[in-house]
Amino acid sequence: MNNFFHAFRRHKGGIIGLVVLALVAVMALCAGWLFPDSPWDIVNAPYLPPLSDDALLGTDTLGRDIATGIAYGARVTLVLAIVSTAVSILVGITVGAVSGFYGGKVDQVIVGFIELFQTIPGFFLAVVLVAILTPTIGTVILAIALVSWPPLARLVRAEFMSMKHREFVQAAMLSGQSSTRIILTQILSNSLSPVIVSGPLMVASAILLESALSFLGLGDPNAMTWGYIIGASRSVLRDAWWMSVFPGVAILVTVLALNLVGEALNDALNPKLARKRTS
Amino acid sequence: MKRIAAFLARRIVKSILVLFMIALFNFFLVRAAPGDPAEILAGQSGAADAEYIQKLRQDFGLDQPIPVQLMSYLKHIAVFDLGYSHRQQAPVATLILNQLPATLLLALTSFAFALLAGVALGIQAALRVGKWGDTVITTIAMLAYATPLFWVGLMLVLVFSVQLQWLPAFGYESVGTALTGFARVIDIARHLMLPAVTLGLFYMAVYTRLTRASMLEIRQLDFVKTARAKGLSERTVITRHVLRNALLPVITYAGIQAGHLIGGALLVETVFGWPGIGRLAFDALVQRDYSVLLGVFFMASIVVVVVNLITDILYTVADPRIELK
């Protein structure tokens, strides 16, 4: 464990990423305190450029404060991304574990499904799903989870297939442990590092997906999100650049930070690979 | 030859299975949605009149039990009858086929851009590994990787259309100029530039990373040392030995990219008003014209399945070592 922290600390990008993520999280947590008004309230004149009085980042076409929107948007976007990633990790691990551990017919069917999901245009699938089931927090999470689980399932499956024949697993089988117990206590605990590495990257792509859905107007109508602010002011881009630029920067910075953390985790958990990459 | 034929047959069966699953998905999605399927298909915004909804019910047998409905739906899909758009007063299939060429043009251009720019940047980065040139390229790739597609589009419009006024920001060609021949091609190409770059940027980053990583790996292999040892120039070693082998993983990604390109086209065509099937899907979304939306999804899946089939074939031709399974 000490080794891990040491390796992670050596990765400057990872540290920067963590700091940025902490700042975004603090902004999300303190949104209500920093900006007491609701992000939907019209608090100012419309079309105020940034650095105006009482509107640091300007106001939108109706006079809603952009900075307030970004702070509250951080809440929605982060929660949605984390919950949907948690769901898809749960599904991905379960499906991958079953497929890799049992093999045979079950495996064939599951691999067929994974391939199906990786062939069809995922973003389209998410759009169709949310549009027809009507946009709510629940359908957005469902859609993001539905298109994000297959790569992880594939990863976990490969891990389980290689672990299955290792001696300690064979020993557990011989000692008469149940399959469920072997899966949970023997194999899963030893194959978590690829899952941990994919975690931040999956949250990052969930944020991108969620923003794209909200941009198209497919977010929950009661949830202020970064993508929504950009989508709502897209048509006035020529006259009011700040309405699109700042929320976009928020997305970019957050996703970039998550990618950096993911990379640092990868290097820390796979030291051999890291050394090879820099040589 | 026989092996290839059998392989192809299996692939085609698989592709049809994928399309069948998507048809099933569309069918059950509409029925899982809150409300009357006929009204959902007709568009919920109240534009559809009672007579039309009644006709829809009859056409799709929506008053019949679910299995009968499913059979009737699959029969329609099998002959590419995707329904009728009451709003646009045209069959959905016709609407889609009219808009498809624009999307294909956009997708192919951005694919070419992503591949050429990505491989070029990847090579340059690998040749300068650890120096500042490498750092600049890896940083660009990282940024392109983390930026939302639609936002890149908006920012490019802001810089190149609004500020610099170099390129048009909207549409397929200039309206009301009646250009012909070469002048028209140039005009369309100018309109194509920003959307194609936007759509290709993410995969440019992917290809940059892939090329860089695989060049660095292959550079250390024995056959490259042999090539150097026998006195080949650095240039020949790189182009003939390293690059050729480094490009294999890049080809693998081309098939995966098809799905992303079509999905991204939905966003890019919306931002740039590009008249393809993505724009059609967005308009359908806004107008709640769901038979068009589902039709575009089905068509997009057909395109992806066909592209995957083609890459599979190309792959086996390009690299005979690959097993046909």
Asked if the structure places residue A48 within a domain, the reply is no
Asked if the structure places residue A46 within a domain, the reply is no
pTM exceeds cut of 0.80: yes
- Indicate the residue of B256, B282, B296 with minimum beta-carbon distance to A216: B282
Question: Cβ neighbours of residue A224 under 8 Å, at least 6 residues apart?
Answer: A39, A40, A69, A72, A73, A76
Strands B84-85 and B90-91, by their bridges, are antiparallel
Question: Cβ neighbours of residue B229 under 8 Å, at least 6 residues apart?
Answer: none
CA distance B157 to B272: 9
What pLDDT is recorded for position B324? Answer: 53
C-alpha A231 chain-centroid distance: 20
- Indicate the residue of A216, A245, A255 with minimum beta-carbon distance to B270: A216
Distance from CA of A189 to the nearest CA of B (A): 30
Distance from CA of A128 to the nearest CA of B (A): 7
Asked if the structure places residue A47 within a domain, the reply is no
Query: Could you tell me the two tokens for A117?
Result: 């999901």
B161, B168 contact by CB (below 8 A): yes
Supply φ then ψ for residue B29, to 5 degrees.
-60, -45
Amino acid B13 reads V
Instruction: Indicate the number of domains in chain A.
Output: 1
B262, A124 contact by CB (below 8 A): yes
- Indicate the residue of A119, A215, A241 with minimum beta-carbon distance to B158: A241
B48, B42 contact by CB (below 8 A): yes
User: Can you give the CATH number for the domain in which A112 is found?
Assistant: 1.10.3720.10
Q: Number of A:B CB contacts under 8 A?
A: 134
What pLDDT is recorded for position A95? Answer: 93
Testing the interface with A: which of B140, B150, B309 to mutate, by most A Cβ within 10 A?
B150
Asked if the structure places residue A70 within a domain, the reply is yes
A83, B268 contact by CB (below 8 A): no
What pLDDT is recorded for position B60? Answer: 66
Tell me the β-bridge partners of B85: B90
**In the predicted model, is pLDDT for residue B47 greater than 70?**
no
What DSSP state is assigned to residue B293?
H
DSSP string, A192-206: HHHHHHHHHHHHHHH
A77-86, B217-226, B291-300, range with the lowest pLDDT: B217-226
- pLDDT tens-place values along chain A, 279 residues long: 567 777 777 777 888 889 999 998 888 888 778 777 777 777 777 766 777 677 677 777 776 877 888 888 898 999 999 999 999 999 999 999 999 888 889 899 998 888 888 888 889 899 999 988 888 999 999 999 999 999 899 989 988 888 888 888 888 888 888 888 888 888 888 888 888 888 999 999 999 999 999 999 898 888 889 999 898 888 887 878 888 888 999 999 999 999 999 888 888 887 655 444 443
Asked if the structure places residue A84 within a domain, the reply is yes
Residue (of A94, A202, A104, A194) closest to A153 by Cα position: A94
| Residue of B97 and A55 predicted with greater confidence | B97
**In the predicted model, is pLDDT for residue B46 greater than 70?**
no
| Residue of B37 and B269 predicted with greater confidence | B269
Q: Where are the beta strands (DSSP E) in chain A?
A: none
| Residue of A204 and B81 predicted with greater confidence | A204
Contact at CB, A124 and B266, closer than 8 angstroms: yes
ipTM of predicted assembly, 2 dp: 0.85
| Residue of B250 and B310 predicted with greater confidence | B310
Asked if the structure places residue A49 within a domain, the reply is no
What pLDDT is recorded for position B110? Answer: 92
- Indicate the residue of A132, A241, A256 with minimum beta-carbon distance to B142: A256
What pLDDT is recorded for position B1? Answer: 63
Asked if the structure places residue A193 within a domain, the reply is yes
What is the extent of the structural domain holding A11? 2-41+54-278
Asked if the structure places residue A15 within a domain, the reply is yes
Contact at CB, B290 and A131, closer than 8 angstroms: yes
